[in-house]
Chains A and B, each alone.
Chain A
Amino acid sequence: MTKSALRDGLDSDGRAALRSAVRMEWATIAFLAVTIPVVGIVTGSSQAMRAAWIEDMLSLAPPLAFLVAVRVMARAATPRYPYGYFRSVGVAHLVAGVALLAMGAFLLVDSTLTLIRGDRPPIGSVEVFGESMWLGWFMMAAMAATIPLPIWFGRVKMRLAKELHNKVLYADADMNKADWMTAVGSIVGVGGIGLGLWWADAAAAIFISGSILWDGLKNTKGAVTDLMDTRATTFDDAKPHPDIDRIHDHLSSLRWVDEVRTRTRDQGQFFHIEAFVKPRKRRMPRLDDIERAQDECRALDWKMHDVVIVPVRKFPETASARSGES
């Protein structure tokens, strides 16, 4: 049994959340493995359906990225990779983001050209049990059938992403939650064709491409920001991560500590924290004190994977104070 750096880093709740997340991502892939061929078969010449189909295929990327990252993250740090493999989450996030961005941009241009050319989508009929049925109904039914499950996936994954502090999972959940808009968009587009509105299809396709492009922008920005070692934030990038304040509070409460500044890197799953400490009366603390403080900081939360305490006379300029202080 190889040592798993990822599981060792999590507490028991975290391990359970990780297991659920892996299960949810496999379930998502299984769901897409069914819907992608079905939507592909009924797509026909509707541009909106084509966009929705491509989005379905692209939504495979974040679950795959997550599952691959979980595998890679499990590897223990080596002399060659001294910080471990935790950054693989960021790399996976970036790959998924760029894929969405490129495909969204392509589809947006393609759909806009379709609208400008005034292409009229031909949608014929098929024979089912001796009856002629318009293919448009099958398209709408297929898209309607893809609505409920992703919403549920999205909600569960959102909760797990918060628990695990995993931004790929968060991005995936966010996309799943918004997926119903794509489905409704393509239903409206095909419905528009049914009503004889030739532009409805291309307009719906533009709407869908726009949502893919938006997802791509958001994810690429998030991934790049994280890889650039931005200040650690909560899983949804809404605010600075509260754990950093807890480190400040804990270290400031120690007898030998006068003042604290920190620099934090979010490595994707875990934090790497440099805590600069001005010792009281400029007296060098004992090694035991530093070691104990380190262990106590790490015990605050499993996210504090690596805490380095550096006694200093003068703080580095970029190290930050507790939020709300300067």
Chain B
Amino acid sequence: MSHRARAAIAASLIVGLGLAGCGVRPADVDGTLATVEDSGVLRAGVSENPPWSSISGAEPTGSEVTLIERFAARHGAEVEWRAGTEEVLVDALHAGSLDVVVGGLTDATPWLDDAAVSDVYTEVVSPTGETEKHVMLTRAGENGLLMELETFLREEVDG
């Protein structure tokens, strides 16, 4: 018992702390990030919420739309946009027909159970004086993509 216990401690310490040292990225359950890089297409959903995102013109616009396009470009991909309401987009995200969703979402989003919510990438104070912490959604389980997007957003927003 004590030998096994000690071996378990040693093994977990080595694995846990050893890997924690380097910023190793987790794998995607469905390999989304690799698919994006291979196919050159990032499937993104967008809903109306200016100035973050707007679908009133021919092409989607807004600060988050720009960010996603830059993120895709970094991985050698083009963005294939799909416009819709949040619910429709989150359903598509859950089903795996979208990779990310933007729409000026905050960390108060109700979609916690259906999607992966990114780390807060920027904070703004709304006209009513409330602090809004902005996030994006990725497909749950695609943790490599999630971390890659979060890393990208941190670099972009911090300068």
Contacts and interface: CB of A to CB of B under 8 A. Distances in A.
Do A and B assemble together?
yes
Interface residues of B, number: 37
Contacts of B151: 125, 132
Contacts of B8: 147, 180, 184
A284 interface: no
A191 interface: yes
Contacts of B9: 144, 147-148, 151, 180
B66 to A, nearest CB: 21
Interface residues of A, number: 36
A34 interface: no
B12 A120 contact: no
Closest A-B pairs by Cβ, 9 of them:
A120-B141, A122-B116, A196-B27, A137-B20, A140-B16, A132-B151, A194-B26, A144-B16, A125-B147
B114 to A, nearest CB: 10
A141 interface: yes
Contacts of B27: 194-196
Contacts of B19: 137, 140
A124 interface: yes
A127 B1 CA distance: 39
A35 to B, nearest CB: 15
A138 interface: yes
A143 B141 CA distance: 21
Nearest to B9: A147
A132 B147 contact: yes
Interface in B10-30: 12-13, 15-17, 19-20, 23-29
A134 B154 contact: no
Interface string A276-293: 000000000000000000
Interface string B104-122: 0000000000011111000
A187 B140 CA distance: 20
Contacts of A151: 2, 5, 9
Given A132-B147, A133-B23, A196-B29, A122 B12 contact: no
B157 to A, nearest CB: 11
Contacts of B154: 127, 132
A110 to B, nearest CB: 13
A124 B116 contact: yes
Contacts of B24: 134, 137, 194
Query: Which of A126, A147, A155, A195 has the most B CB atoms < 10 Å from its CB?
Result: A147
A124 B150 contact: yes
B51 interface: no
Interface in A194-220: 194-198
13 contacts: A120-B139, A122-B116, A123-B26, A124-B146, A133-B20, A133-B23, A137-B24, A147-B8, A147-B12, A180-B8, A194-B27, A196-B29, A196-B143
